[in-house]
Structure 1
Amino acid sequence: MSPPPAAVIEPSLIILPDAAPSVVRDTQMRRQAFFAVVMAAMCIGFSAPLVRLADAGPAAIGFWRLFFALGPAMVWAYAEHRSRAHQARRAGATALRPSLRQVLLAMLAGVFFGADLIVFHKGLALTSTANALLLGNLAVVFVFLFGWLILRERPTRGLLIALALALTGTFIIIGSSAAGGGASGARPVSVIGDLLCVGAALAYAAYMLATRAVRRAGRGDAVPLGGGMVSLIASATGAVVCLAWAVAAGEVLVPQSLQGLLAVIGLGLIPHATGQGLATFALGRLPAGVISVVLLLQIVVGVALAALLFGEFPSLVVLAGGLLVVAGVTTARPG
């Protein structure tokens, strides 16, 4: 997936000789944000290959991934708390505390995120990396679909086109798996694995909606929960969900090799803490549509790493279905 067209970013890069300092500063921030979101996509792209290298159960991998991400989330949340407290002191006011409803919504988001990790890791074990990444990115389409079915938001023509493209691509990929032609290489594919990845996309869509509800719950007298605090609460809750599932399912909890240990540490620090952190940093400085489209680079990175490390090469049918999925996701995302 190529970066956004030049017309998207070039206007902010044109600086006249008499440009005001604020314009120069805004241009620099946009450049930094675009670089940050490209790096975020690169980091998130390591997720699926690292899961393959982790020799523990699917839910256990999710637990360790979130566990090793808690440290950076704590630092982020503490920095937000210090900043809010400082601003309140300067204003001569008392810093407001989050409401119970906000905390419960953040925990609900963590439950959905934990479910997403469990189902996605299980699906990844049963299908190819390309199938898992392409189907897992259906989450954005499902967010708009839920808005239509649950929130009664009137669907736009773009949404209907996005649904048609994404669902057609999904059926092509799953149909290829049913026919046994999903990938060339050592990795087998299965319809069950593909369907699990679709289920993971549904869970992640629910996580996105719950996170949106957390931020909206801050309107009124309660202080809005910052991204760091939401990440900390959701990650801690998701870790508990993953651990409870792993214990109940009798999974292998502890990585069995140094490679497996390094893989789960890498999952917590590279895709989760660094990747999501950079994306959050960019979100306040670039349009959400630009960020979400550039983040599709994670598919290219993940598939390329799987080809280099594991010899997984998607078939032409999967590539064709994947192009339709990406087209549908791109159409569904805000402009």
Structure 2
Amino acid sequence: MSPPPAALAPAAAEGAVLLSPLSPSELHEAHLRRQAFFAVVLAAMCIGFSAIFVRLADVGPAAVGFWRLIFALGPTTVWALAEHRAALRRRPLVAGERRALFSTRQFVISALAGLFFGADLVAFHIGLSHTTTANALLLGNLAVVFVLVIGWLGLGERPSRGLLLALALALGGTALIVSRSAVSAPGDAVSVYGDLLCVGAALCYAGYMLMARLVRRGGEEHAPALGGGMVSLIASSVGAVFCLVWAVATGETLLPSSLQGLLAVIGLGLVAHATGQGLTTFALGRLQAGLISVVLLLQIVVGTSLAALLFGEIPSLMVAIGGTMVVAGVVVARPPKPAR
């Protein structure tokens, strides 16, 4: 008998639940995972505005990252404090007990996540100034492949045939995009330089994702997983310092000189970072980093559509083909569903 159509799969799954009811804790966990999934979808839509805001900003690349993180600190601090109070309500302090906000290990890992994210912002913003928005978004989203590769090397997870196919597709598409940049500007390596910086940014973002996932899922014997708000607060603070030091050392313009530039960095802080990255960090406590990376590919659609609408940056056919290969690669790289 042939399998039922895909459209009937949810109904079949619901039937399976009726035949084998889930425990209250399993139902609660499934509900939290659904919440996390939709949080990532919303996060991808918010992060998709990043490249547009960066184009409209009138400060240096690292300064853009600094202001983005600074304007996100207010909402992130409120989130972290709300999480801490909620934890105290769930498990009140007993007489004489003192409970630290985080352990030394949690702080170090969160700070490393912030360094990776700061490096990602600097590399991506500089790369964006030397290439098109479509190229930057497509190459920057190679992070999903890097997440899986670094997870294999660091955690000893053997790559499947699907992962090898994903790597071939993604790297082939990357080579096609970069080679197209070289052909379109013969004798000028500016666009290639921008493309390669965006690939480096993807590698840094993969480091951020893996560090954030590590601290969000816990693992310490006497300390629970660190809340998403606190992880975001530590990482954003460290990332802001990194970007500021880079901007000062390279003599960048630090202060926005126009209302448009000011609104652009405020939008980066509130929309792209506080909301977009905040929801991503929240979801890392419930979903695998690889799965989240795949869902975040939605930002490519948002970013390229806005760039075509606002800046007239219509991707060429060759770049579109390369981008399709990159997207196909990261979709194939999606972690398989766990066996029931």
Bin the TM-score by the shorter chain.
0.7 to 0.9
The residue number in structure 1 matching 2:236 is 235
Alpha-carbon distance between aligned partners in 1 of 2:310 and 2:106, rounded to the nearest angstrom: 42
> Which deviates the most, 263-272 or 217-226?
217-226
1:86 corresponds, among 71, 89, 93, to 89
2:148 is the counterpart of 1:144: yes
Letter in 1 for 2:210: L
- How has the CA–CA distance of structure 1 residues 93 and 202 changed in structure 2, closer, same or farther, with 3 Å as cutoff? farther
The residue number in structure 2 matching 1:52 is 55
Verify the 8 A CA contact 1:102 1:218 in the aligned structure 2: no
Alpha-carbon distance between aligned partners in 2 of 1:37 and 1:241, rounded to the nearest angstrom: 26
Report the Cα offset of residue 201 of structure 1: 0.7
Verify the 8 A CA contact 1:181 1:315 in the aligned structure 2: no
Verify the 8 A CA contact 2:144 2:294 in the aligned structure 1: no
Letter in 1 for 2:70: F
- How has the CA–CA distance of structure 1 residues 281 and 287 changed in structure 2, closer, same or farther, with 3 Å as cutoff? same
Alpha-carbon distance between aligned partners in 2 of 1:46 and 1:31, rounded to the nearest angstrom: 24
The residue number in structure 1 matching 2:330 is 329
Letter in 2 for 1:318: V
Report the Cα offset of residue 283 of structure 1: 5.7
2:132 corresponds, among 128, 132, 140, to 128
Identify unmatched segments of 5+ residues in structure 2: 1-5
> Which deviates the most, 88-97 or 68-77?
88-97
- The root-mean-square deviation of aligned C-alpha atoms, in Å, is 3.1
Alpha-carbon distance between aligned partners in 2 of 1:152 and 1:31, rounded to the nearest angstrom: 29
The residue number in structure 1 matching 2:108 is 104
Alpha-carbon distance between aligned partners in 2 of 1:286 and 1:10, rounded to the nearest angstrom: 23
Verify the 8 A CA contact 2:130 2:190 in the aligned structure 1: yes
The residue number in structure 2 matching 1:68 is 71
- How has the CA–CA distance of structure 1 residues 155 and 286 changed in structure 2, closer, same or farther, with 3 Å as cutoff? closer
Letter in 1 for 2:330: V
Verify the 8 A CA contact 2:291 2:334 in the aligned structure 1: no
How high is the sequence identity, in percent, across the aligned residues?
65
2:193 is the counterpart of 1:192: yes
> Which deviates the most, 56-65 or 138-147?
138-147
Report the Cα offset of residue 89 of structure 1: 1.3
Alpha-carbon distance between aligned partners in 2 of 1:273 and 1:6, rounded to the nearest angstrom: 36
1:205-256 per-position Cα deviation (integer Å, ceiling 9, x unaligned): 1112222332466421133211111100000000000000000000000111
Alpha-carbon distance between aligned partners in 1 of 2:229 and 2:70, rounded to the nearest angstrom: 15
Letter in 1 for 2:301: V
Verify the 8 A CA contact 1:88 1:95 in the aligned structure 2: no
Alpha-carbon distance between aligned partners in 1 of 2:295 and 2:231, rounded to the nearest angstrom: 24
Report the Cα offset of residue 181 of structure 1: 7.1
Verify the 8 A CA contact 1:50 1:267 in the aligned structure 2: yes
Alpha-carbon distance between aligned partners in 2 of 1:92 and 1:290, rounded to the nearest angstrom: 43
Report the Cα offset of residue 40 of structure 1: 2.2
Alpha-carbon distance between aligned partners in 2 of 1:49 and 1:303, rounded to the nearest angstrom: 9
Identify unmatched segments of 5+ residues in structure 1: 183-187
Report the Cα offset of residue 114 of structure 1: 0.3
1:40-97 per-position Cα deviation (integer Å, ceiling 9, x unaligned): 2221110101000000000000000000011111011101111112222188894642
SS of match in other structure, 2:184: coil
SS of match in other structure, 1:251: coil
Alpha-carbon distance between aligned partners in 1 of 2:35 and 2:132, rounded to the nearest angstrom: 34
> Which deviates the most, 41-50 or 258-267?
41-50
SS of match in other structure, 2:63: helix
Verify the 8 A CA contact 2:115 2:238 in the aligned structure 1: yes
- How has the CA–CA distance of structure 1 residues 331 and 232 changed in structure 2, closer, same or farther, with 3 Å as cutoff? same
Alpha-carbon distance between aligned partners in 2 of 1:259 and 1:87, rounded to the nearest angstrom: 44
TM-score, structure 2 as length reference: 0.84
- How has the CA–CA distance of structure 1 residues 212 and 290 changed in structure 2, closer, same or farther, with 3 Å as cutoff? closer
Verify the 8 A CA contact 1:65 1:268 in the aligned structure 2: yes
The residue number in structure 2 matching 1:294 is 295
How many residue pairs were aligned? Answer: 324
Alpha-carbon distance between aligned partners in 2 of 1:288 and 1:210, rounded to the nearest angstrom: 10
| Counterpart mapping for 1:1-335 below 5 A | 35-89=38-92, 94=97, 96-97=99-100, 98-180=102-184, 190-215=191-216, 218-280=219-281, 291-335=292-336
Letter in 1 for 2:148: F
Report the Cα offset of residue 13 of structure 1: 7.5
- How has the CA–CA distance of structure 1 residues 189 and 46 changed in structure 2, closer, same or farther, with 3 Å as cutoff? farther
